[in-house]
Chain A
């Protein structure tokens, strides 16, 4: 029984990790209609910047907010200077450009920061308390808590504010939005800035748990995509729920289904997602997109 509880908690933690990056993916998609393959690497970059600041004895919360600002500016700048050129031609070209960005940033961070493992401090105290026979860590609770807060905040932004409405409009139909007086370029830049900021938060939450090494985000990105697709690429809640399903599902499958075991746990989860999509292509929380002719 203790084993099951531990596995569930472990799955929730992992799910939180995947869900936080999936959130950033969903935000970019909602505000610009493209999939950003470089999302993970940009999060890794901002986390490494935070690491360098912390090494230079900058206090944690100052570093945290400084990195958020830097992340926003980074996303803003990347959209304006790099991705915009490709967005004007076609969405597909822009997506391929993000692949190139992924390779560039991945190599660049390894070049500058090297390949060794670095520890990263957590904003939460390293205190664990027992719940029954299971040890629950304050750090994990805090991570999930912040994740849910970010999810709620972006939900409010997109669904309930005028700015959110305008951003969605710019993403959905650029030419119409422009004709309606929306500054589409600014909306795209804001979308990227926001997504990179969320990615930065994800990185800062993930790094204390998984430690900073080269390619930390590469594997997380695969799971994040799975989570985002499962939840429906349109929905922030979907991203988080998708992450939890992937995290917990994988742990349970590998421990209790001997046929799947550790080798096939990721393929099994991906297969499960494929089955869900066959039945419900828009994902668990997505909306069916309907084109009127």
Chain B
């Protein structure tokens, strides 16, 4: 230990200066990765983007309930599109896109863990199309606080406020609320004066749907009965019986999966035959086909997508373009899988907005997403348009009627705004 006040020797001076220089260079280098010159920090104030590469991240349920239906087709869709983009076009403006994907199993604690990893460890530029309402609920605050552009795959209206979540733009929609509102608008216009009954799942999803329908139906006096069920219930018999007893002839069925199927079957069994508006998650095609046309002839749902398996869209140029990419790069994948094509469309949307940025910053990316005009994704029915009022890019849908084997779109595209 030196005595206080002793002068530094020349050797000590030079050593410490040298150490400081090396440490400074190391820190600057470490921030951008070895090999990036220190002065590049001004051009790229945000992480995850360099002259040659853009790194983005996502969490998807590769295991868990939505894995087979959503998580794995999404993963395939992103991979095949980015592979095509990087190889055919050298990426976007000379930058290849690298996607890091973690499996969160649709469990919010894991989503949080992996999102932190993406932002703080992998240092991604943005996150793309993470699936789920509860999962995104857990990370949207964190991502916005850290100014990470995020584009979640969810229809929950809670993410829609641009003031609350300025770094979030939702490249899908309409919201559950708006989908239900569209059905409510149609019901009120088509079945004037008739009483309506609602069966909804007693959680935030079902409650949102129920409010949306009421908003569109716009006549609370004519809502004869509102019944709820819990996901821990085994049957919904009592609720359906009570709805019939209320005299309703229009039915809004905000139920998912097996509950919707059980409800429709029970209604048929007790001889109740209302016009039934059912949410997307309640349309279980194979079960409905098995029930037979007599039990399912009054079912209507909304559709925001062109279904690649629907013969109506067999020659649709938008869908064909995606299918050709799949055929060339991953022919073993099922190119008629709606979710696969949806993911490819999201990848394309991201690439197209990235191409529009003047400066390679996160702010510029979000601004590009907030100035989308009449963008055709190729797979969605409505065109995408940014709006100052909502984070959602899609706010319209078309209704479709069950014909015994599938839902057939009818009428015009109805807007909820």
Contacts and interface: CB of A to CB of B under 8 A. Distances in A.
A17 to B, nearest CB: 6
Interface stretch (A6-14, A228-236, A285-293): A6-14
Q: Which of A119, A135, A137 has the most CB of B within 10 A?
A: A119
Interface string A9-28: 01101100110000000000
A137 to B, nearest CB: 7
Contacts of A213: 257-258
A251 interface: yes
Contacts of B68: 114-116
Interface string A239-260: 0000000000011001100000
Interface in A154-212: 209-211
A73 interface: no
Interface in A96-129: 114-119, 128
Contacts of B239: 254, 262
B65 interface: yes
B280 to A, nearest CB: 15
A214 B234 contact: no
Contacts of B234: 14, 17-18, 210, 219-220, 223
Given A6-B270, A119-B287, A263-B202, A219 B233 contact: yes
Contacts of B257: 117, 213
B230 interface: yes
A10 B284 CA distance: 23
Contact of B232 (A7, A216, A222, A251): A222
Interface string A59-84: 00000000000000000000000000
Contacts of A223: 234
A48 interface: no
B290 interface: yes
A13 B240 CA distance: 15
Contact of B258 (A17, A211, A261): A211
A116 B242 contact: no
B331 interface: no
Contact of A10 (B202, B233, B237, B290): B237
A135 B269 contact: yes
Q: Which of B229, B232, B235, B284 has the most CB of A within 10 A?
A: B235
Given A118-B286, A214-B65, A263-B202, A14 B237 contact: yes
Interface string B233-248: 1110111011011000
User: How extensive is the interface on chain A, given as a class?
Assistant: 35 or more
Q: Which of B202, B258, B266 has the most CB of A within 10 A?
A: B258
B271 interface: yes
A137 B228 CA distance: 25
A3 interface: yes
Contacts of B65: 115, 214
Interface of A is mostly: helix
A119 B286 contact: yes
A16 to B, nearest CB: 11
B414 interface: no
A156 to B, nearest CB: 29
Contacts of B228: 261-263
Given A116-B286, A266-B230, A210 B235 contact: yes
B138 to A, nearest CB: 22
A3 B227 CA distance: 15
Interface string B135-174: 0000000000000000000000000000000000000000
A119 B290 contact: yes
B334 to A, nearest CB: 15
Interface string A133-145: 0010100000000
A115 B69 contact: yes
Contact of B262 (A211, A251, A255, A263): A211
Given A3-B242, A7-B238, A14-B235, A211 B261 contact: yes
A206 B68 CA distance: 26
Contacts of A214: 65
A266 B232 contact: yes
The list of the 7 closest CB pairs from A to B, nearest first, reads A10-B237, A119-B290, A3-B245, A6-B241, A251-B238, A213-B258, A262-B228
Given A115-B65, A117-B284, A213-B258, 18 more contacts: A6-B270, A7-B237, A10-B237, A17-B234, A115-B67, A116-B286, A118-B287, A135-B270, A209-B235, A210-B262, A213-B257, A250-B238, A251-B238, A255-B242, A261-B228, A262-B202, A262-B227, A262-B230
Interface of A: 2-3, 6-7, 10-11, 13-14, 17-18, 114-119, 128, 135, 137, 209-211, 213-214, 216, 219-220, 222-223, 250-251, 254-255, 261-263, 266
19 contacts: A6-B237, A6-B241, A10-B237, A11-B238, A115-B68, A116-B284, A117-B261, A117-B286, A118-B287, A135-B270, A210-B235, A211-B262, A219-B233, A220-B234, A255-B238, A262-B238, A263-B230, A266-B230, A266-B232
